[in-house]
A and B are shown apart, each in its own frame.
Chain A
Amino acid sequence: MQPFFEATDYFPADTDGRVEAMAKVTGKAKYSAEYQAPGLCYGFFATSTVAAGKIVSIDTTLAKQADGVIDIITHEHKPLVPGLADETKIRESRFGLPVFHTDKIYFKGQPIALIIAETLEEATYAASLITAIYHAETHNIDFELSHPKVALKPDGKERGSLQAWQQAPRMVEAEYTIRNEVHNPMEMHATIAHWTADNKLKLYDKTQGVNNVQRTMARLFGIPNDNVEVMSEFVGGGFGSGLRVWSNTLAATMGAMQVKRPVKLMLSRPQMFMLTGYRPQCWQRVKLGADENGKLLGLYHQGRNSTSMYENFSEGFTRECRLIYTVENLKTESATVPLNLSTPTWMRGPGDCSGDFAIESTVDELSYLLKMDPVELRLKNISNEKDPETGKPWSTNYLSECISRGAERIEWKNRPTGSGQLTDGDWKIGYGMAVGMWGAGRQNASAGIKMQKDGSILVQTAMTDIGTGTGTGIQNVAHDSTGIPKNRIKIELGNSSLPPAPSQGGSTGLSSITGAIAAVCNALKQKLVDYATVVDNAYKGMNIADLLISETGISARSGNAPSISFTVLFDTNHIDTIAVEASAGPGDERQKFSFCSSAAHFCKLRVHTKTGKVKIERMVCTVDAGKVVNSKAAANQISGAAVGGIGMALMEEQNADNALGSLLANDLAGYHFAVNADAPIIEVAFINKPDFNSNPSGAKGIGEVGIIGCAAAIANAIYNATGKRLRDLPITPDKVLMG
């Protein structure tokens, strides 16, 4: 196990920067909106001012007269997208919002027109001159009022029976609520659409998956996948908002078709709040029974989340309770609540993050009822050996070790056993903890290598790097697999014409791609052995594990085969480059085992009794994510996720006015996410034990577990400090004070 990082020595020994670091810090790295194209013009959305109804008419007269305006697309004036040609096709497309293919208004802020102009400034101003007449209908964005009216339905297989534990000696039951949260990555969603021929489309698009955009647009426009090239080489954050193809990509493509010029469309910051998804609002109820010794007897988890009027998005927050603990009797129910808002989507730790807050708060509450240490209660009930849902053995699961190590680090022994016991003037001090788990998935992925005559290689894949350090991870794995020095390994990512790869999401990116990298490195070695055999027959039939690659050439680990320089190797074979490609994916190990990543979060904080202020003093996150292949970026992932968890716990909330059907404060001043001042140095450690069943690198996904459990750890620490059990996120100072 890697030692804990000390505050004074926070960064792990691996001090190599990211492969793309220089490009990013020198501004050479280009994000989607930064590219140019011949004759490029600019689009901007005008959006609906009502939350429900129909468009009666749109007046574009003034806008058309404004300087620089080229054309204005509306539902009445547009190139018809074949895949959205009628209601049936719209439904079948599963695209979501059929922008400009309907007169229906589903939410306030829905695009009703795309203004295309010579400059961004002209397009933006002309958009302000668009007016529309609506046949407004009654809107509903009130989740609190609406959700009790929606019947809950069974969600997942019931274990045992609900009746079996209703007389359990210890029982806790409570309701939890979480408000809408938004992703709002630094880089706003943007598209440059360029029809290079009548049926050939080139897109620069901010996305977490270029192949997903490629398939989606090809399908909508009825052209072959190969005719759509999508580039997203650098991505300024995603958090899940880039896992779908949104209206900006479709509208820019329609615009480019209409004006026969490339069109750039970037969402404004306010538009980011409604056009790229969000973590839905939810209500949950948890009932948990245990015996006097703290053995869990039964769990009943119910919940509803908000969705839009035009799509059903179920967050899946009842999944988390099925993963962590051994519970013989378990029942889960869920439902979605349609509102006049845009469709929510996956946001970091989707579902599990919300579900975990309810479950881990309830487990904490049970610990006080039992007068048992919450660490002990969890260690007693965690399913260490097998997946409680499927009964399959975990491939690896070191959650209990995460808990023990975290408890040691934060000096859990100093925690007062009761609430409200530790005081410093007007401050109350408390400790809290919670755990989080995430199913560790893997998908099929492909990668290619091109080796030049100087022995340097270029590793290529369509996978994007949304800031998680994928490129560096790939470089590390390629170096470990081939022995080629890191400075001779270049990485190229985020282009749909490169070997295909899944979207980077759900903590599957690195797990999926490292398999492909290992495979393609083996393919390269095999090719080198084949070419070497032409030079010297001693290489014939050599096991690739015996091949050594150096800066100058190849040699054999043992035996008689002589060293061969790259020059001789390439010249003798009359080649300039060696190109290989390989794919890899999950196999029958997925039938034998269950896979998970897990984390334990510990928090020490203080609460001011007279002002309600909460100050987090320490956050300790101990994580099992298999082998850490890129320690600096991995620590950064967890640290960033934990800061996101602080935001979720204490401040993130999309305000709305139910009567007016309107979101409020759609900017980064009005929507509060955590900043550096709100977070201590996050103390991160990894168990760092490989899971070779997961993939050849032994690494498991890390993006989600850093946030799953954070909010509950903080809420539990607030309880330990004050005796106030706060079940409505975010826990803002007013709730602390008045709770």
Chain B
Amino acid sequence: MKPFNFIKAAGGTQTVKQKKRTGRFIAGGTNLVDLMKKHIEQPEELIDISGSVPASIGKKAAGIRIGAMARNSVVATNPDIIAAYPLLSKAILAGASPQIRNMASTGGNMLQRTRCPYFYDPTLPCNKRNPGTGCSALTGDNRMSAIVGWSENCVAVHPSDMCVALAALDANVIITGKDQLTKTIPFKNFHRLPGNTPEQDNNLPADALITAVEIPGNAFQKNCFYLKLRDRDSYAFALISVAAALHLNGTTIVSARLASGGVAHKPWRWYSVEQFLEGKQANAQVFQQAATLVQKEIKTLPHNVYKATMLQGAIEVALQNCLNA
């Protein structure tokens, strides 16, 4: 990798002032270091935020606040998270490997780059890595690519499992801007679709820092499930994943949340399915009908036609498993 300076973050709002445009914050480093080894990221300076950004997890009146430095394995095994947000715990445990989860931070997880193989090979054209060079996956190997929200410029998918649960649970991202002011970005607006600017994964302003994630309270503790379909049973990115959560009154669905990974440039919410489910009976027939609704939203690529079938099956199975949970 390219030689770089390594400094400790000053802490507090001073941290954002330290950062130059050519620098990068480093938390767990589980993605950034890989990218540096491949010369995809070549920062002049790394600012280690592991000692200065909060890692605590604390209940709040209207929900829970997870410090951006909280490690994925800590979040997944936190008793308050398991009790009140089991979907988040399940999603995190479906991702990566124990070793990676021990290092990876909550904020870093949200900022991880796509695993599209073209992005990872600097010798190949890729609009996300090198804007204007074209999208190799569009005409190449797109078996793992997007089926919704993609553009001619980029068909990459967001790799995170944790973020699928955060999207389903209507989380908020707390950031500190370069101006040292704290802002909140609703999770659904945090990640972007590729459009004409696939090099931008998200709406985090330049040089801003994620400090926490907040999740409002909900009634999805009892009936939720995270289903991840992948080429192997551990340490593989999703072909399709589904985060499903139901709030039931008897057998009636009061409200539903449904989101997917492996389908889009961002964690994708299936709002139309959620609306369909609300007020209906929670049973196999309803779930089957609900799952078919995604078909009109998606547009597959030559090598990922299977995802249409797999997604429909996965939604059905995830919803069904909410009842068995």
The residues of A with any CB-CB pair to B shorter than 8 Å are: 49, 67, 108, 121, 124-125, 128, 426, 608-613, 650-651, 655-657, 659-660, 662, 664-667, 669-670, 672-678, 732-734, 737-738
Q: Which residues of A lie under 8 Å from residue B136 when comparing CB positions?
A: 657, 660
Q: Which residues of B lie under 8 Å from residue A670 when comparing CB positions?
A: 115, 117, 120
Q: Is B296 an interface residue (CB 8 A)?
A: no
CA distance A655 to B118 in the complex (A): 11
Are A659 and B313 interface neighbours, CB within 8 A? Answer: no
Say yes or no: A611-B233 contact (C-beta < 8 A), given A657-B141, A664-B118, A670-B120: no
Q: Which residues of A lie under 8 Å from residue B306 when comparing CB positions?
A: 612, 733-734, 737-738
CA distance A650 to B2 in the complex (A): 38
Are B233 and A678 interface neighbours, CB within 8 A? Answer: yes
Residue from B124, B235, B317 within 8 A of A669 (CB atoms):
B235
Are B232 and A662 interface neighbours, CB within 8 A? Answer: no
Are B317 and A612 interface neighbours, CB within 8 A? Answer: no
A-B contact pairs, 29 of them (CB 8 A): A125-B2, A128-B2, A609-B313, A610-B316, A610-B317, A612-B310, A612-B313, A651-B231, A655-B141, A656-B141, A659-B139, A659-B140, A660-B136, A664-B121, A664-B141, A665-B117, A665-B120, A666-B121, A669-B236, A669-B237, A670-B117, A672-B232, A673-B232, A675-B235, A678-B232, A733-B306, A734-B143, A734-B310, A737-B306
Q: Which residues of B lie under 8 Å from residue A651 when comparing CB positions?
A: 231-232
Contact with A along B198-236 (1 / 0, CB 8 A): 000000000000000000000000000001010111111
Are A124 and B231 interface neighbours, CB within 8 A? Answer: no
Q: Which residues of B lie under 8 Å from residue A659 when comparing CB positions?
A: 139-140
Are B232 and A733 interface neighbours, CB within 8 A? Answer: no
Are A611 and B232 interface neighbours, CB within 8 A? Answer: no
Are B3 and A67 interface neighbours, CB within 8 A? Answer: yes
Are A108 and B115 interface neighbours, CB within 8 A? Answer: no
CA distance A121 to B115 in the complex (A): 25
CA distance A128 to B3 in the complex (A): 12
Q: How far is the CB of B181 from chain A (nearest CB, A)?
A: 37
CA distance A736 to B232 in the complex (A): 14
- List residues 1-30 of chain B with CB under 8 A from any CB of chain A: 1-3
CA distance A4 to B282 in the complex (A): 47
Are A733 and B229 interface neighbours, CB within 8 A? Answer: yes
Q: Is B123 an interface residue (CB 8 A)?
A: yes
Say yes or no: A611-B117 contact (C-beta < 8 A), given A659-B140, A672-B232: no
Q: Which residues of B lie under 8 Å from residue A664 when comparing CB positions?
A: 117-118, 121, 141
Q: Which residues of A lie under 8 Å from residue B239 when comparing CB positions?
A: 733-734
CA distance A607 to B305 in the complex (A): 20
Are A738 and B115 interface neighbours, CB within 8 A? Answer: no
Q: How far is the CB of A54 from chain B (nearest CB, A)?
A: 18
Q: Is B309 an interface residue (CB 8 A)?
A: yes
Are B232 and A677 interface neighbours, CB within 8 A? Answer: yes
Q: Which residues of A lie under 8 Å from residue B240 when comparing CB positions?
A: 611
Q: How far is the CB of B243 from chain A (nearest CB, A)?
A: 15
CA distance A687 to B140 in the complex (A): 49
**6 closest A-B pairs (Cβ-Cβ)?**
A610-B313, A677-B233, A734-B306, A664-B117, A677-B234, A665-B117
**Max count, chain B CB within 10 A of own CB: residue among A612, A655, A677:** A612
CA distance A677 to B94 in the complex (A): 12
- A616 to B, closest residue via Cβ: B233
Contact with A along B114-150 (1 / 0, CB 8 A): 0101101101110000000000100111010000000
Are B124 and A660 interface neighbours, CB within 8 A? Answer: yes
CA distance A669 to B112 in the complex (A): 15
CA distance A424 to B306 in the complex (A): 23
Are B235 and A108 interface neighbours, CB within 8 A? Answer: no
Q: Which residues of B lie under 8 Å from residue A669 when comparing CB positions?
A: 115, 235-237
CA distance A113 to B76 in the complex (A): 46
CA distance A613 to B312 in the complex (A): 14
Are B3 and A125 interface neighbours, CB within 8 A? Answer: yes
Contacts beyond the supplied A650-B231, A669-B237, A672-B232: 15 A-B pairs with Cβ under 8 Å: A67-B3, A124-B1, A426-B317, A611-B317, A655-B117, A659-B140, A660-B136, A670-B115, A672-B236, A673-B232, A676-B234, A677-B233, A733-B231, A733-B239, A738-B306
Q: Is B183 an interface residue (CB 8 A)?
A: no
Q: Is B314 an interface residue (CB 8 A)?
A: yes
Q: Which residues of B lie under 8 Å from residue A677 when comparing CB positions?
A: 232-234
Are B235 and A733 interface neighbours, CB within 8 A? Answer: no
